[in-house]
Chain A
């Protein structure tokens, strides 16, 4: 049940929503599509679902054509579950009727009454909604509504589950709790999940692989750890791991910037693209900041421009020449005051 997306392009009027997007998603994989708003991630999901047709390219499921510019399989004949950003619960139906609705469709005509009942109850108990079966969506809390939407998406045991920012309507705390439930559902059903989000924490926390998109193109597809540790483009480096992009020059393992030379461990060398462009991505927590006074040398000299206390760490903006670098200093370490001269070095790992 591999999902293959090949050379998908989509234009809305004159603007390119998607440009030549290709990816392969393995059966049972949880893939998160991550990107800022307007990057085309929702458009891609809607093309996979069949709500809109691509301008060129095609989507294949287990080798057979799903979506193409000339149509493809009608939506109602695709065996997929979907959770929408607005949840899209039908307000005039009870929880039970909402969840039961897919089971009563033509594609489940052959299903026995008993099997249908079991599927319904399975979906309701696994999401904990059995006790609310006769409520209307309007009478439920945000988290409960979310569970109904999940139950409806999994009731047919689809092999492909599409989720379009399903947690964006919830408040911060509930969102973190619901992540666990979505992971449980993934384990329980074994379905392939394509999960669209603009929240990088969500993507990194849940997915097997993350696909980063920008301006209708794929920037990088990799495991969360790899995305974080070894970004391949400037955008991924700055968007996901909030890296500072130091501009200097590379000589083997040595990176020199403003007369200062950093010696980098072979395992910490950035992707080729950065080396070719004389860039060095440094995550805010990988800087080691010291008071700049005194005669000790080494490190980039700068001045504290802004300080924000965040609990576990303090976020500093340090002005070094014309650049502004972000540095996270764990609480409990030295405190720096505004306008103070400081020195930035690389942490030794």
Chain B
């Protein structure tokens, strides 16, 4: 009975997670003349392919360097130094994490638009204009978008470097800075590199930034090149796109594997308690460093956003001036039928995705932590693979796989399946961490005192893991509500998403409309995060009180 259940479970998991990828690989080898390397040869013969590959590498490496600089820099300021307003520095660094990357892109394109005050000032000074629709623009925006990944990876590790290691170095006659570079930095190096690898992966995975900035400028990277091939509908375009996807996936999965190895190296530090004391006092430079860092981060994240918000109040081809201000763009956003449909659509998708992920992910997480059978391991690794794969590649494999079933492709269902396939691992990881934190004896005790499995779940497990599990669910909701990459390929006429609407408005040249819609999204996201913080704060108190009671 148990073996049968395991086999069915394994079958479903392989069918959902693994077969789409295998089908993609198979499609990449299929040509009109049968199986072979024809598609790859054809791709290599096109100069655009090698340009896309080179661009991808240049963009990813450049963006990673920026992300590492920003992320490591502000994690150093927050974790080690005595600057004040650390919450503000952290919020400014993490802002691009909360805001969808296409909105950050839009904000930069309004900030550096030809009629924006930056470029007008540059022209007045006789300097060349800054063009965000360029390689440099793509690199900069991607670098800003992925900095939070590096920050989150290094900040907590820096706080975990044992103070005694540093004191031992000071007592050995070394100064504060020398101690930081010789002793503390090497301890967090694996985490920093792992963060860099994650930022690199996020850069090659990202579709929205090169789509918004690269497509108009004719700069292809692999993700947008795959997109162009898919929507190009040429005779063998799907197979060519599949071959490109295989190339991109090989890079991504190698990177993910490398990152996993690096994380293992730092695993010893996970259990060390964080120490928030000042490790590197800045002395009289503190005020300058603090002001400089906040000014710099404001310029990178908030000022462009404000430029976007202000452009949302302008009609096309007009400069910012009091008499030009209009609410027409917002009127469009709130009254347009297509926009309303997209919002309804994204809300439905996000809610269903969260619901499915929450139930399936928590169940899988519990089985993995408590039973840890081989089947569950395979399920986990499979769902990890679909997350590590670039979104555009996943989207393509979803088309190949789910067209077998009528009524899936071309409806909302394919998007729902794709979202769950992509985001399930986030819930598994979040819930698994929560279940691990619950001592198994609590469950056993409940069973011993005569609770059935249902009662144990309702009365013991769920109350204890609810907070952490819901945190992951919130994240998945935010991701899937604003998602663009998957929907750019999988959405159909009757089922457009919020992200796609912004994208097509921008592609059609309605920059101010897309800015207005993005402004609304940013406010929605902010309210959503505030709500989740308030909910979490409310959830904290009664649990503490009740913990000791029978």
Closest CB in chain B relative to A82 CB, distance in Å: 5
* Interface pair A84/B175, CB less than 8 Å apart: no
Contact of A86 with B173 in the complex, beta carbons under 8 Å = no
CA distance A84 to B169 in the complex (A): 12
Chain B residues lying within 8 Å of A81, measured Cβ to Cβ, are 171
Indicate if the CB atoms of A88 and B173 lie closer than 8 Å.
no
Tell me if A90 counts as interface (CB < 8 A to partner B).
Answer: yes
**In the bound complex, do residue A76 and residue B167 qualify as a contact, i.e. CB atoms below 8 Å apart?**
no
Chain A residues contacting B171 (CB-CB under 8 Å) are 49, 75-76, 78, 80-82, 102
Collect the chain A residues with CB atoms within 8 Å of residue B163's CB. Answer: 51
Asked if A84 meets B168 with Cβ closer than 8 Å, knowing A90-B183, A91-B187, A92-B187, the reply is yes
Min distance, Cβ A51 to any Cβ of chain B, angstroms? 5
Give the one of B162, B169, B171 with max A CB within 10 A.
Answer: B171
Q: Is the CB of B167 within 8 A of A88?
A: yes
> Contact partner of B168 among A50, A88, A107, A156, CB < 8 A?
A88
A7 contacts chain B at the CB level, 8 A cutoff: no
B20 to chain A: closest CB distance in Å? Answer: 42
Bound complex: CA A50 to CA B172 (Å): 13
A278 to chain B, nearest CB (A): 43
Residues on the A chain within 8 Å of B183, using CB: 90
Q: Is the CB of B187 within 8 A of A88?
A: no
Tell me the residues in window 80-133 of chain A with beta carbons closer than 8 Å to chain B beta carbons. 80-82, 84-86, 88-92, 101-102, 105-108
Cross-chain contact B187 with A82 (CB below 8 angstroms)? no
B350-376 CB mask vs A (1 if < 8 Å, else 0) is 000000000000000000000000000
Would you call B167 and A105 a contact (CB within 8 A)? no
- Do residues A88 and B172 form an inter-chain contact, with CB atoms below 8 A? no
Interface residues of A in 39-72 (CB under 8 A from B): 49-51
Proximity bits, B159-190, A CB within 8 Å = 1, else 0: 00011110111111111000000010011000
Give min CB distance, B390 to chain A, whole Å.
34
Is A152 part of the binding interface, using a Cβ–Cβ cutoff of 8 Å? yes
Flag if B169 contacts A101 (CB, 8 Å): yes
Question: A81 to nearest B CB, angstroms?
Answer: 7
Q: Which A residues touch B186, using CB under 8 A?
A: 90, 92
CB distance from B253 to the nearest CB of A (A): 29
A88 and B174 form a contact (CB under 8 A): no
Q: Is the CB of A84 within 8 A of B173?
A: no
In the complex, chain B residues whose CB is within 8 Å of the CB of A51? 163, 167, 170
- What residue in chain A is nearest B172 (Cβ atoms)? A102
Instruction: Report the bound CA distance from A49 to B168 in whole Å.
Output: 10
CA distance A248 to B183 in the complex (A): 60
Report chain B residues within 8 Å CB of A50: 170
Query: When the two chains form their complex, are residues B167 and A49 in contact, meaning their CB atoms are under 8 A apart?
Result: yes
Asked whether A82 lies within 8 Å of B168 as measured between CB atoms, the reply is yes
- Point out the residue from A76, A86, A107, A108 that lies within 8 Å of B164, measured CB to CB: A86
Are B173 and A102 within 8 A (Cβ)? yes
Range, interface on chain B: 10 to 19
How far apart sit A82 and B164, CA to CA, in the bound complex (Å)? Answer: 10
Closest A residue to B186 by beta carbon equals A92
Interface residue from B164, B165, B173, B175 paired with A85 (Cβ < 8 Å): B164
Question: A-facing mask of B181-224, CB < 8 A → 1, else 0?
Answer: 00100110000000000000000000000000000000000000
List A residues 126-166 near B (Cβ within 8 Å): 152, 156
Name which residue of chain B comes closest to A82, CB basis: B171
Q: Which residues of B contact A91 (CB under 8 A)?
A: 187
How far, in angstroms, from A90 to B178 measured CA to CA in the complex?
Answer: 14
**Could you tell me if B173 and A108 are in contact, using CB atoms closer than 8 angstroms?**
yes
Complex CA–CA separation, A195 to B164 (angstroms) = 16
Interface positions, chain B 210-254, Cβ under 8 Å from A, are none
> Quick one: which of A49, A88, A107, A108 has the most chain B CB within 10 A?
A88
- State which of B164, B174, B187 has its C-beta within 8 Å of the C-beta of A105: B174
Contact B165 A90 (CB under 8 A): yes
B162 contacts A76, CB within 8 Å?
no
Q: Is B165 a contact of A76 with CB atoms below 8 Å? A: no
Give the CA-CA distance A78 to B174 in the complex, in Å. Answer: 11
Q: How far does the alpha carbon of A80 sit from the alpha carbon of B171 in the complex, in Å?
A: 7
Closest to B171 in A: A82
Chain B residues near A49 (CB-CB < 8 A):
167, 171
Cβ–Cβ contact B168 & A76, under 8 A: no
Complex alpha-carbon distance, A258 and B272, angstroms: 55
- Cα A156 to Cα B169 in complex, Å, equals 13
Nearest chain A CB to B504 CB, angstrom units: 52
A107 touches B162 (CB 8 A): no
Interchain CA distance A252-B534 in the complex, whole Å = 72
**Complex Cα gap A317–B485 (Å):** 76
Contact A76 B187 (CB under 8 A): no
In whole Å, how far is B476's beta carbon from the nearest beta carbon of chain A? 37
User: Whole-angstrom distance between the alpha carbons of A84 and B186 in the complex?
Assistant: 20
Kindly list chain A residues whose C-beta atoms are within 8 Å of the C-beta of B175.
76, 106
Contacts of A76 in B (CB 8 A): 170-175
Closest B residue to A49 by CB, please name it.
B171
The residue in chain A whose Cβ has the minimal distance to the Cβ of B164 is A88
Interface positions, chain A 278-334, Cβ under 8 Å from B, are none
A168 to B359, CA, bound (A): 47
Contacts A90-B183, A91-B187 given; does A84 touch B167 at CB 8 Å: yes
Q: Is the CB of A84 within 8 A of B172?
A: no
Minimum CB–CB distance for A50 against chain B, Å: 8
- Residues of chain A within 8 A (CB-CB) of B172 are 76, 101-102, 105, 152, 156
Contacts of A156 in B (CB 8 A): 172-173
For A88, the chain B residues whose CB sits under 8 A away are 162, 164-165, 167-168
Q: Which of B162, B164, B173 interacts with A106 by CB under 8 Å?
A: B173
Q: Give B163's nearest chain A residue, CB to CB.
A: A51
The answer to whether A90 touches B174 (Cβ under 8 A) is: no
Please, which residues of chain B bring their CB within 8 A of the CB of A152? 168, 172
Contact B168 A105 (CB under 8 A): no
> Within the assembled complex, what's the spacing in Å between the Cα atoms of A5 and B151?
43
Bound-complex Cα distance A68 to B186 (A): 32
Contact A75 B168 (CB under 8 A): no
Residues of chain A lying within 8 A (CB to CB) of residue B164: 84-86, 88
In the complex the two chains form, what is the Cα distance from A85 to B165 in whole Å? Answer: 11
Residues on A with C-beta less than 8 A from B167 are 49, 51, 75, 82, 84, 88
Contacts of B170 in A (CB 8 A): 50-51, 75-76
Q: How far is the CA of A105 from the CA of B178 in the complex (A)?
A: 10
**Closest residue on chain B to residue A51 by CB atoms:** B167
Cα of A85 to Cα of B164 in the assembled complex, Å? 8
Cβ–Cβ < 8 Å partners of B174 in chain A: 76, 101, 105-106
Q: Give the docked Cα–Cα distance between A175 and B172 (Å).
A: 25
Instruction: Kindly list chain B residues whose C-beta atoms are within 8 Å of the C-beta of A82.
Output: 167-168, 171
Closest beta carbon of chain A to B428's beta carbon, Å: 32
In the assembled complex, the Cα of A156 lies from the Cα of B170 at a distance in Å of 14
Q: How far is the CB of A325 from chain B (nearest CB, A)?
A: 37
Q: Which residues of A contact B165 (CB under 8 A)?
A: 88, 90
Q: What is the chain A residue whose CB lies nearest that of B166?
A: A88
Q: List 11 A-B contacts (CB under 8 A).
A: A49-B171, A75-B170, A76-B173, A76-B175, A92-B187, A102-B171, A102-B173, A105-B172, A105-B174, A108-B173, A156-B172
Known A-B contacts: A88-B168, A105-B172, A108-B173. Give 8 more (CB < 8 A).
Answer: A50-B170, A76-B174, A78-B171, A88-B165, A106-B173, A106-B174, A107-B173, A152-B172
* B interface residues with partner A (beta carbon < 8 Å): 162-165, 167-175, 183, 186-187
